[in-house]
Structure 1
Amino acid sequence: MADSTSESGELVTVGRLTAVYGVRGWVKVHSFTEPMDNILQFQKWWLQGEKGWEPLAIDGGKRHGKGLIVHIKDVDDRDVAARFCQRDVAVSREEMPSLHEGEYYWHQLEGLRVISRFGGAEVDFGKVVRLMETGANDVLVVRGGADRRERLIPYIPGEYITDINLEAGVLTVDWDPEF
């Protein structure tokens, strides 16, 4: 199948098929959604292939133990199912639920320029390269800027995160440049 970018629109990676489960075409899914079974609510899945994103039809999915399993439509053989594993799963950005004001998906924050206004001075920290889940709160991993340092900044709006402007591509923080 060819890359269907025009058909799929803008895609967001929401999980990964990891391993086969059983002998009848079921595979384990590592979901990046919160809660994890939200991934099962998406109607149209896309699978990363050698030539781009390919449509992936799922005709069943459920929690199993501490994880999730899904059945790939028309695949009832373990060896065939294995060909789908170790590949990312995405959905169309348009299919993602709307958020309330002040809420953001991680993919919206990745790539934003981070500016600190700690103590009245403005310092460019670089860009958000990824986010980490730590249990207590999410953490921004920021790299670049004039000093080329990597910084881990707790994602706590109103405390360390003072403003997010998606249109301008800027996230403003109150974070000591020396930390």
Structure 2
Amino acid sequence: MNSPASSVFTASSLPEDAIELGRFMDAWGVKGWIKVQPHSADTQALFETTHWHLQPPEEALARGFSAFTGCVSATVAEIKHHADGVVARLEGMSDRSQSESLKGVRIYVPRSAFPAPPEGEYYWVDLLGLEVFNREGHALGVVRDLMPTGPHSVLVLEYTDTQNDKPLLAERMIPFVDAYVDQVDLKARRITVDWGLDY
């Protein structure tokens, strides 16, 4: 650890239930703040967790990166929404050169550290991989992503289209709103929706 930001970090290991929530993009201002690119429109866990686990950028983006090696942890001093994004400052960071050295760093938080969501609300990471069935019991696919579209999110499902000679992976999108979603059962890893096979 030989960068200007090295005193900010503590060597650690990535928790087994760690979820990658975003990455550092670039310096913001001159006082150690850095732009954060969240992986989801749901940023509650980033804002309510004071300790982040950090890993270097992926190999393809890590050219010249020397802020740290392996996994480290850092304390979040300040975080806020700015314009259409998020900016944060880590404890011990006070100048632009420190934040510039962290470009591309990946941010992880243990799932166990997430605050409990309000009744009827869910974290996007908990919906990934759930099987989706309609009221008639037909399998519609598996949740691959949750796409924000302004007023609500859309479930992006992946399923195998067997109507052609060659089965193909296909996508189906369902608005994640009460009008279409009957039940989310996290224990059974199942979502029931009012949605036809031909929609």
> What TM-score comes out, normalization by structure 1 length?
0.78
Contact 1:124 1:146 in 2 (8 A): no
Q: Which stretch has the larger CA shift, 16-25 or 67-76?
A: 67-76
> After superposition, where does 1:75-90 map in structure 2 within 5 Å?
75-90=93-108
| Equivalent position to 2:117, from 87, 90, 99 | 99
Identical residues among aligned pairs (%): 31
* Structure 1: distance between partners of 2:70 and 2:192: 35
The Cα of 1:134 is off from its aligned counterpart by 0.9
* Structure 1: distance between partners of 2:182 and 2:114: 26
The Cα of 1:63 is off from its aligned counterpart by 4.4
SS at match of 1:39: helix
* Higher RCO (CA < 8 A, seq sep 6+): 2
Corresponding residue number in structure 2 for 1:137: 152
The Cα of 1:69 is off from its aligned counterpart by 2.6
| Structure 1 residues not aligned, in runs of 5+ | none
> After superposition, where does 1:115-130 map in structure 2 within 5 Å?
115-117=133-135, 120=136, 122-130=137-145
Q: How many residue pairs get matched?
A: 172
Matched, 1:17 2:24: yes
SS at match of 2:112: helix
Corresponding residue number in structure 1 for 2:90: 72
Contact 1:14 1:39 in 2 (8 A): yes
| Equivalent position to 1:163, from 183, 195, 199 | 183
* Structure 2: distance between partners of 1:138 and 1:78: 35
* Amino acid aligned to 1:152: M
Contact 1:124 1:145 in 2 (8 A): no
Change in Cα spacing, 1:66 to 1:151, as seen in structure 2 (3 Å) is closer
* Amino acid aligned to 1:131: L
* Amino acid aligned to 1:59: A
The Cα of 1:154 is off from its aligned counterpart by 0.6
Corresponding residue number in structure 2 for 1:4: 13
* Amino acid aligned to 1:109: L
Matched, 1:150 2:171: yes
Q: CA RMSD in A?
A: 2.8
The Cα of 1:100 is off from its aligned counterpart by 3.6
The Cα of 1:20 is off from its aligned counterpart by 0.6
Corresponding residue number in structure 1 for 2:126: 108
The Cα of 1:169 is off from its aligned counterpart by 1.3
SS at match of 2:197: coil
